[in-house]
Amino acid sequence: MTASNVETPLIGYPQPIASDTGDGSLDGVRVGVVTFPGSLDDRDAVRAVRLAGGSAVALWHDDHDLQGVDAVIIPGGFSYGDYLRAGAISRFAPLMEQIIAAASGGAQALPVLGICNGFQVLTEAHLLPGSMVKNNHLHFICRDQRLRVENADTFWTSDYAPGEEIVIPLKNQDGQFVADNRTLDELEGEGRVVFRYVDENPNGSRRDIAGISNAAGNVVGLMPHPEHAVEAGFGPDSSARGEVEVRGGTDGLGIFTSVLKKLVR
């Protein structure tokens, strides 16, 4: 089975999106979503891209072709069952070699977003510094998590205001971000801490870091799941923007509209 013949039906009736340019120009942006054996949230990421107005392209880890996509999302899940270390085996998939080369390509570098297991893959691939180890309390955690967008200049966060808070789901066991102090100081000094946990640090991550970027800002990884907070009726029960209806939170959508608009400009 290849990823391209897996259907990803949209559930419900997506509402028009306020941030859309209104002329349909975003749907020309093609965002690839990589499926590994054990990926879980690839379909959700595909839906998030579509709901944001873009075109999603299913990519299979064992292919050698990025199909000319304009950006790539490495989704959450447990690729290769987290064997060895989370992301350690996926990092050597044929398609990852293409992604690593394209993401390191200077001014024209491919925008890449790693969510949860995707973030772990990006650190194992050395596209992002640091690593994830088991949560300090050892429990799998699943909750709606408040974050602060510390850097709104990346490809994936430009639709947010600097310092804006969002609520999106967090669900993992190996979510504790660690790096040595020199790396942490460098990340802070260069504005590469993109998301920080607010109110409570859920897993012992150094300096409350929930997400980071590379120096160029095209590669971003975060542990919480923006793709699970993109459509009213299927999101968290809360939002940083005020009261919402049950499962009405859509604070994660800005991640996806950010990259689409950046690529259209």
- Give the residues lining the site for other proteins (CB under 8 A): 84-85, 88-89, 92, 123-124, 129-131, 133-138, 176, 178-180, 204
Minimum CB separation from other proteins for residue 181, in Å? 9
* Sheet strand arrangement including 30-35: 55-60, 30-35, 71-74, 112-115, 219-222, 209-213, 193-197, 141-149, 165-172
Instruction: Choose between 35 and 123: whose C-beta lies nearer to other proteins.
Output: 123
Find the catalytic residue in 124, 225, 228, 231. 225
Query: Which CB, 88 or 147, lies closer to other proteins?
Result: 88
Q: How far is the CB of 56 from other proteins (least distance, A)?
A: 31
Q: Which of 124, 150, 227, 231 is catalytic?
A: 227
Cβ-Cβ contacts under 8 Å for 127 (sequence gap 6 or more): 100, 103, 104, 112, 214, 219
Q: Least distance (Å) from other proteins to the CB of residue 185?
A: 15
Nearer to other proteins, 123 or 218 (CB): 123
- Nearest residue (CB) to other proteins, 19 versus 173: 173
- Least spacing, CB of residue 135 vs other proteins, in Å: 7
Of 61, 116, 124, 231, which one is the catalytic site residue? Answer: 116
Residue 229 Cβ, how far from other proteins at the closest point, in Å? 28
Give the C-alpha separation, 135 to 174, whole Å. Answer: 5
Is residue 227 flagged as an active site residue? Answer: yes
How far is 11 from 43, CA to CA, in rounded Å? 11
Active site residue 116: yes
Q: Which is nearer to other proteins, 89 or 255 (CB)?
A: 89
Would residue 225 show up in a list of annotated catalytic residues for this protein? Answer: yes
Distance CA(169)–CA(123), nearest Å, equals: 21
Query: In sequence order, what E strands does the chain have?
Result: 30-35, 55-60, 71-74, 112-115, 131-133, 141-149, 165-172, 176-178, 193-197, 209-213, 219-222
Strands 112-115 and 219-222: parallel
C-alpha distances in Å from residue 218, one per residue of 70, 84, 110, 137: 12, 28, 7, 32
- Catalytic site residues? 116, 225, 227
